[in-house]
Structure 1
Amino acid sequence: MIERIAQFKSGPALIFASLLMLVLAACDSPEEKAKSHYESGMAFVEKENFIKAGIEFRNALQLKENYADAWYGLALVEESEGNLRLYAGDILKAIELDPKHVKAQSRYGKIMLLSGRLEDALKTSDLVMELDPNSADSLALKAAVLFRLDDKPGAVAAATAALKIDPSNIDAVTVLAAERLDAKEPAGAVTIIDEGLLHRPGSTPLQIVKMRALTALDDDEGIISVFQELIAENPESKEYRQGLSSFLESKNRFAEAETVLRGIATDNPEDIDAKLDVVKFIRTTKDDSAAVAELEGLIAEYPEVFRYRFALAELWARMGDEDKSQAILQSIIDNAKVAEDALIARNRVARTYLTKGDLAQARILVDEVLATDAQNAQALVMRAAMQIDEGNIEDAISNLRSSLKQNPDTVNTSILLAKAHEINGAFELAEDRLAAAYRYSKQAPEVGLAYVQFFLRQSAPERAEDLLQKMIARNPRNTDVLKAMAQLQLRKQNWGAAEELADRIKEIDATDVIGLQISGAAAAGLQKADDSEQEFEKAYESTPDSGQTMLSLVQSYLRNGKVDKAESFLNSVLERSEDNYLAKMLLAQIALGKGEREKAETEFLDLIKNDPDRPEGYMMLTRYYLASNQQNEAQDVLTAGLAALPDNFTMNLTQAGLFEANGEADNAIAIYEKLLVTRPNSEIVVNNLASLIAEGAEDEESLRRAYALAKRFRNTKVPFFKDTLGWIHYRLGEYEMATPLIKEAAEALPNMAIVRYHLGLAHKAENNFNEAEKELEAALKLAEQQNFSQVEEAKLALEEVRAAKAN
């Protein structure tokens, strides 16, 4: 009581002191306030309260934007949230503001190390050691860098020194443990990690390294114990429980694994994904019927959660029962209380129709979805896919762009948009979309391979190879990537590189048929005839029913001059399977190659007689007659073939070519128009049709139709297509657009009379008579050896050019 009275008696002094503190606080500089926020933020970091820490660091930066410590603190927050790109950016900002910021430099060194940039990591480590040679973090970074540079003694010395300063330094413990693992002494690694855990109990990074060591020791119970400790330390996280379940599953301890997964689902009753994980597990470890029963139980328990119904519909579809799948989806459409569920169901039914090729039914459902939700992303993509198939590229692009506005990082939509741009001749836009898809997929090999194929279609093998090299570095054991690179090397006739890649493929899978065929092709290129045959024989033995392996083996025999062996092999195939179409066809080709023309013709006729619904016999006999200059016979075979197979693309294309060669342009156009309906994106059909229309058009409307078809060739690398578009521009009187295109075509096709003739007329139209004369003379010279129907027109044009020059 006396003390309280004394405090009251000193009231004026207390008030004065309080006022003085307020005045002093008001005098704090922005720098001091920023420092206060930073220190508060670091205190929150120590407590792992990163949300409040982030607020404090951002407050500090509002007061002092060039505050390196605050940028470093913000980096710690970004790291905790998994925003690694922002984390790296904040570390670099801290270093930019203060190059001697030891902690930031140390973390930058780790970033370089993880990125594989060892030289930069070493430079950073040297700088950190210079700035703070007695810091545990500096020594730990040095240890990690030396370890990656294979200086194990140096790494151990630096890590040991770091632990003398700070026994709890996780990076130093990790280096020492990694060194023991590298030395094939996992028990020693466990001892080191356990010592580290005494100083950093519950450390997740150390526990994960310990599991690696225990794996090397085949200590399953020890691994399970570590998982259990991680689960106890992180009770809110599903990750470690899922990891434990996966581990138990890998050891065929299915009942225990299922118990763990069901525990996750039970502890998280609102987590639909957790329950679906149980369904996936049951389907994998038991069978489809057990998974169906599990889903039916979930549907009965949660009738309003339609995701379980969708999962059941998808399961029935995978099991091949489309009727049950469709029935479930239709019931969702009919009964869903949430409009979004009904739209999803319609989209899935539409996708099924689309997959089966029933575009009419798919279009009805897609239109229903878009009538309800005009910006529905999935429906827009399906509509675009149908539009691409119909050749309606501009509308497809518009729909795909609308879909990407809502879901900008969707891989499949980006790939489809790339396809549309490529068809439209906008190759830079196509490449941009493929690059985005590859990025969104986190460099998934299957997306990267689509990107590679794009480069190959654009005649850019160097870029394809560069991308493949990066993909191999990221996926060194992915056989699809290795095979793509090997096939590229075969195209380049880089036989040694292809053989080395084939060996790598065979190390991963000795029975990989494509790997064996690549090996055989590489050996053939290296003139190792026997090795080549052996590889192709192994490929055939692995898949004797594969036409490709049979063809490759026969070609190998023929390449080595072993015609009798090829015939003997094919006859042995026919002994086992007397109706083998490919074997008969190859025997007929061999007979033709040996000059046994009548025998070959008889065998081709037998192929057609015995298998009238296969196009190969018709086509081979047609080529035989054309090579023999028997035009009428060739036409008769094609007519018979098209009567049996009216929609066969190759035979229609061949017949159109025959009509062109015979000057029957109208008949050829009629076939190309028919093909355009079914193959609107076939470049050869579009080019040939546009070229024929432009050649014979007498009115601007027809020429505009030809231009509408050929405008996709604006950026093409195919010289024939450039000539077509250039010639259409010429016919439209757009000479300034015609000449560059035709000139590029002529540079690529200097021995084509028709192209040189087109260029001559383009130069003539621009009054460039010297160049026109040169090109027209070249066209007429080439015409002496080629079928060139415009000889008289070329002569007349040349006379006019010479007359113009004379004046």
Structure 2
Amino acid sequence: MVSKSVTLASALTIAVLVLGGCDNAQQREAKYKARGAGYILDRKFDLARVEFKNAAKINPTDPDVYYHLGLIDEAQGDVTNAIANFSRAEVQDRTFVPALLKIARYHLAAEQIEASERKVDTILSVQPDNADAHALRAAQKMRRNDPVESEREARFALARDPANVGAISVLTALQVARGEAASAAATLDSGIARNPDEIALLLMKIDMARKANDLQKVDAAFHSLFRVLPAERVYRADLADIYLKAGRIDAAEAVWREGIAAAPESWGMKQDLIAFLDRNRGIEAAEAEITRYIAASPDQSELYFWLADLYIAHDAPDRAVHLLEKVATTEKFEPQGLNARASLARIQFAQGNRAVTEKLIAMILEKNPTHPDALFMRAGLNFDQGRYQNAVSDLNEVLRDRPRSPEAKQLLAESLLRLGSLDRAAEVQAQLVDIVPQDNAAQVRLAQILSAKGETARARATLDRVTRTNPDYPVGWESLARTAITTQDWKTAEMAIARLDGLAGQTLPAAFLRGEVEAATGKPESAIARFAQVATADPATPLGERALAALVRAYAGLDRLAAAATYLDSLNSKSSFVANLRGETDLALGKRQAAEAEFEKAVGAGGGRPEPYLNLAQLRLNDHRGDQAIDVLRQGAAALPGNDRIALVLADSLSQLGRPGEAIAVYTQVLERNPSLDTAANNLAALIADFQYADPEALRLALRVAERFQGASDPAWIDTLGWVHYRLGNVPEAVSLLRRAVAVGPVSPQMRYHYGAALIRANMKEQAKLELRAATGPGQSFPGIEEARQLLASL
């Protein structure tokens, strides 16, 4: 939230500059800053941003400019950019106190206490009596479990600024912790009297009333907050929920109706009331409320979508379709007509009518290529088909129109993960957490991505926040245990598992995690017993499947795979997963025929996994039954059209079996779906350069997909690009790239052939002889070896 006192002080400073004698550049900067500060006070943040950016162009080293840009970001909910701008202000002036205070607060909120303390040290070195810095020091001491020093710092701050919100908050918290309820209430009431509109203090008042279980005081505290934030829906939802839990449904409904009376233009508040009625009064009450809104505002087309969503939620899609088709017919291709078609597409997709969904989306995008709902739906379709790069493109377009869409952010993060872009996925997931900080699942997912990146400290800090603020959220404890197991922090793992085990319905997840700890700490027999306990309960669940896989690994570590096979047989399961695992066990035991039968059973059972197809195909390839392997892989590609693993193995197998044309077709399809796959790009370009170099169009495609390897470090990829240039007749480029590939190494005979051929074209025949002799030595075999021998003979 923007601090008005800081902004007003800045505005006064700017006014003095404007009135004083300055050169023209200084005057212009001051005017931009003065206007920007005024816009911030009026909450016209976009206009304020323009003014401060203009000021930055005149004086790019002014820390105050970046500080105010950070305030704007903060007010608009963009915490990531806010911190970046506060940090830019600090770069310009290492002792710029307003920015240091902001950064210190963010460090403290992220549990980075030492970093926060360093910023406060810097502030106090230049302003020893700064009340805000001492209030922050009080909060730091409280986090350090030093209540004596914490209170001393808080009282020091209050002596210099009796209205200091941070110091009031810390002192109140300390008094609550000591059980001094009356003193805490007095401190807080005094603070609110001095800061009647301060949200943080009003929220503390609510929290204290809730802990005292005094519903009357809770209501009064919330209504003090509503006076300041009449249109804020989140807090009304909290109070309504409190009344619901107390069995007072009429009072809960009144909370929403009072909110609508206080903010009659808030359609979001009305939508919240409808959701409340639907959950607690039934579809008839919700439908009646929407109908009243439609009667009062017949031109508000959005209301028809609310009604359609209500019908969909109650499994009445036909009523929703009828309503939406009416809107689509009436509005045709006006915005609401397109929105109606988007809602129809969503219904069709939910019903499994993919072709109809795609037709509706195409119709919308033909009329409006940037329609966000249609683009989001298309991104979802692309994601389901494994076209992750296409999904990313659509989602980026959606986010240009709706930069704070949680759904788009979540799907974008998952798409980036599938593309292997862990850094970008973590960045997007962090943005999602900023947008919906109360979403536990989003925070846990961020921690999982950070852990996959190797940033276990950040992952741990994120999970610590989740488990501290939501101790009854089982996924938080489970993820914390997994992170601790990864880092071999057995003490934390045991603590997290114990907390998980204490929650209802979490006995089996806790047992599985204990088994993982035991397996990793040299107790395989105990681990096997744990995994069997979990798997026997229900081997068809994801947890049961993980337990089965872990059980087989533990038996393998003891060289007792036969016992694992016996256990799997005892399950009498018909699942694809169990059959595939049984096949892998048989294969490890040398029972190839039995393994093949199990893999065939797994393929026949379906299940949506690539492993049975890949295992069966590999077994047949190893037995020199290439055509049968190809049949299995094609079957898998048809069953799992978005799975790149199957497609890449299929293309590679076709290439090895001497069917380059078919391999090229598969690689082309893979790259159309997922253009970022470097392996597919390399193999496609190499095959074209080896087998379709007489086709100019194919060579142009090869160059387009291989150009990404211009700065590559992998010699094979550099070689591919160089060979494509050779086939195109670009001799200087070919020689340069192929020379670099050979220099980087390791060097294959085929790479020497490519380099030698390019050297001949460059009239460097003596060196070409050396390369071609090395390429065609005894026992060598590669695509093009006969051409290499002919070239050598021609020299």
| Structures share fold, TM-score greater than 0.5 | yes
Cα deviation digits, residues 603-645 of structure 1 (max 9, x gap): 667778999999977765543343334x3xx534755896899
Cα deviation digits, residues 227-249 of structure 1 (max 9, x gap): 23444566676665444223323
- Secondary structure (helix, strand or coil) at the match of 1:707 reads helix
Q: Distance in 1 between matches of 2:143 and 2:695?
A: 73
Assess, with a 3 A threshold, how the Cα gap between structure 1 residues 497 and 421 changes in structure 2: closer, same or farther: closer
Q: Distance in 1 between matches of 2:622 and 2:102?
A: 72
**Hey, what does 1:30 align to over in structure 2?**
19
**Hey, what does 1:507 align to over in structure 2?**
499
**Hey, what does 2:221 align to over in structure 1?**
226
- Secondary structure (helix, strand or coil) at the match of 2:488 reads helix
Q: Would you say the 8 A contact 2:70–2:83 is kept in 1?
A: no
Cα deviation digits, residues 285-309 of structure 1 (max 9, x gap): 4555654454345445544322222
AA matched with 2:290: L
AA matched with 1:788: F
Q: Distance in 1 between matches of 2:617 and 2:329?
A: 56
Q: Would you say the 8 A contact 1:391–1:680 is kept in 2?
A: no
Q: Distance in 2 between matches of 1:617 and 1:226?
A: 60
**Hey, what does 2:557 align to over in structure 1?**
559
Assess, with a 3 A threshold, how the Cα gap between structure 1 residues 103 and 334 changes in structure 2: closer, same or farther: closer
Q: CA RMSD in A?
A: 6.1
Work out whether 1:341 is the aligned partner of 2:336.
Answer: yes
How many pairs does the alignment contain?
739
Q: Distance in 2 between matches of 1:421 and 1:334?
A: 38
AA matched with 1:700: P
Q: Which moved more, 1:76-85 or 1:339-348?
A: 76-85
**CA positional deviation for 1:700:** 2.6
**CA positional deviation for 1:216:** 3.7
**Hey, what does 1:264 align to over in structure 2?**
259
Assess, with a 3 A threshold, how the Cα gap between structure 1 residues 743 and 405 changes in structure 2: closer, same or farther: farther
- Secondary structure (helix, strand or coil) at the match of 2:434 reads coil
Q: Would you say the 8 A contact 2:614–2:646 is kept in 1?
A: yes
Q: Distance in 1 between matches of 2:696 and 2:147?
A: 78
Q: Distance in 1 between matches of 2:647 and 2:390?
A: 29
TM-score by length of 1: 0.70
Assess, with a 3 A threshold, how the Cα gap between structure 1 residues 473 and 318 changes in structure 2: closer, same or farther: same
Larger RCO (CA under 8 A, 6+ residues apart): 2
- Secondary structure (helix, strand or coil) at the match of 1:442 reads helix
**Hey, what does 2:9 align to over in structure 1?**
none
**CA positional deviation for 1:277:** 0.5
Cα deviation digits, residues 525-584 of structure 1 (max 9, x gap): 44432343245335425642134443333333233322343123122211xx4x445444
Residue among 734, 744, 748 paired with 2:730: 734
Cα deviation digits, residues 391-433 of structure 1 (max 9, x gap): 999999998777666556667668888999999x9x99x9779
AA matched with 1:702: A
**Hey, what does 1:703 align to over in structure 2?**
699
**CA positional deviation for 1:592:** 3.8
Q: Would you say the 8 A contact 1:397–1:420 is kept in 2?
A: yes
Q: Distance in 2 between matches of 1:536 and 1:691?
A: 46
Identity %: 24
Q: Would you say the 8 A contact 2:443–2:466 is kept in 1?
A: no
**Hey, what does 1:750 align to over in structure 2?**
746
Assess, with a 3 A threshold, how the Cα gap between structure 1 residues 241 and 667 changes in structure 2: closer, same or farther: closer
**Hey, what does 1:172 align to over in structure 2?**
167
**Hey, what does 1:6 align to over in structure 2?**
none
TM-score by length of 2: 0.71
**CA positional deviation for 1:154:** 2.5
Q: Distance in 1 between matches of 2:345 and 2:583?
A: 46
Q: Would you say the 8 A contact 1:618–1:638 is kept in 2?
A: no
AA matched with 1:154: E
Gaps of 5+ in 2: 1-16
Assess, with a 3 A threshold, how the Cα gap between structure 1 residues 244 and 391 changes in structure 2: closer, same or farther: closer
Residue among 108, 115, 118 paired with 2:116: 118
Residue among 569, 572, 575 paired with 1:571: 569
Q: Would you say the 8 A contact 1:613–1:645 is kept in 2?
A: no
AA matched with 1:120: R
Equivalent residue runs for 1:272-287 within 5 Å:
272-285=267-280
Work out whether 1:528 is the aligned partner of 2:517.
Answer: no
Cα deviation digits, residues 683-737 of structure 1 (max 9, x gap): 6666544433321222433322433455566677877655544432232133454
Q: Distance in 2 between matches of 1:127 and 1:702?
A: 68
**Hey, what does 2:202 align to over in structure 1?**
207
**Hey, what does 1:635 align to over in structure 2?**
627
Residue among 307, 312, 316 paired with 1:312: 307
Q: Would you say the 8 A contact 1:498–1:518 is kept in 2?
A: no
Q: Would you say the 8 A contact 2:388–2:674 is kept in 1?
A: no
Q: Which moved more, 1:328-337 or 1:679-688?
A: 679-688
Assess, with a 3 A threshold, how the Cα gap between structure 1 residues 277 and 542 changes in structure 2: closer, same or farther: farther
Assess, with a 3 A threshold, how the Cα gap between structure 1 residues 268 and 365 changes in structure 2: closer, same or farther: same
AA matched with 1:750: P
Q: Would you say the 8 A contact 2:690–2:784 is kept in 1?
A: no
**Hey, what does 1:330 align to over in structure 2?**
325
Assess, with a 3 A threshold, how the Cα gap between structure 1 residues 799 and 419 changes in structure 2: closer, same or farther: farther
Assess, with a 3 A threshold, how the Cα gap between structure 1 residues 605 and 52 changes in structure 2: closer, same or farther: closer
Q: Distance in 1 between matches of 2:540 and 2:733?
A: 53
**Hey, what does 2:10 align to over in structure 1?**
none
Q: Would you say the 8 A contact 1:265–1:275 is kept in 2?
A: yes
Q: Distance in 2 between matches of 1:381 and 1:550?
A: 37
Q: Which moved more, 1:789-798 or 1:176-185?
A: 789-798
- Secondary structure (helix, strand or coil) at the match of 2:306 reads helix
Q: Would you say the 8 A contact 2:519–2:527 is kept in 1?
A: yes
- Secondary structure (helix, strand or coil) at the match of 1:750 reads coil
Q: Distance in 2 between matches of 1:572 and 1:765?
A: 68
Q: Distance in 1 between matches of 2:224 and 2:349?
A: 50
Q: Would you say the 8 A contact 2:90–2:96 is kept in 1?
A: yes
Q: Would you say the 8 A contact 1:389–1:681 is kept in 2?
A: no
Work out whether 1:247 is the aligned partner of 2:231.
Answer: no
Q: Would you say the 8 A contact 2:757–2:791 is kept in 1?
A: yes
Assess, with a 3 A threshold, how the Cα gap between structure 1 residues 745 and 466 changes in structure 2: closer, same or farther: farther
**CA positional deviation for 1:257:** 1.3
**Hey, what does 2:488 align to over in structure 1?**
496
- Secondary structure (helix, strand or coil) at the match of 2:725 reads helix
Cα deviation digits, residues 312-334 of structure 1 (max 9, x gap): 22233344443333222211112
Assess, with a 3 A threshold, how the Cα gap between structure 1 residues 558 and 84 changes in structure 2: closer, same or farther: closer
Q: Distance in 2 between matches of 1:78 and 1:613?
A: 47
AA matched with 2:278: R
Q: Would you say the 8 A contact 1:455–1:463 is kept in 2?
A: yes
- Secondary structure (helix, strand or coil) at the match of 1:496 reads coil
Cα deviation digits, residues 640-673 of structure 1 (max 9, x gap): 8968996676888766555433434345556667
Q: Distance in 2 between matches of 1:758 and 1:504?
A: 58
AA matched with 2:266: D
**CA positional deviation for 1:258:** 1.7
Cα deviation digits, residues 249-307 of structure 1 (max 9, x gap): 35454332122112222454443222211122233445556544543454455443222
Q: Distance in 1 between matches of 2:711 and 2:480?
A: 27
Work out whether 1:660 is the aligned partner of 2:655.
Answer: yes
**Hey, what does 1:788 align to over in structure 2?**
782
Q: Which moved more, 1:316-325 or 1:680-689?
A: 680-689
Q: Distance in 2 between matches of 1:263 and 1:406?
A: 32
Assess, with a 3 A threshold, how the Cα gap between structure 1 residues 573 and 406 changes in structure 2: closer, same or farther: closer
Which entry has the higher C-alpha Rg, 1 or 2?
1
Q: Distance in 2 between matches of 1:680 and 1:584?
A: 34
Q: Would you say the 8 A contact 2:77–2:435 is kept in 1?
A: no
Q: Would you say the 8 A contact 1:780–1:791 is kept in 2?
A: yes
Work out whether 1:691 is the aligned partner of 2:686.
Answer: yes
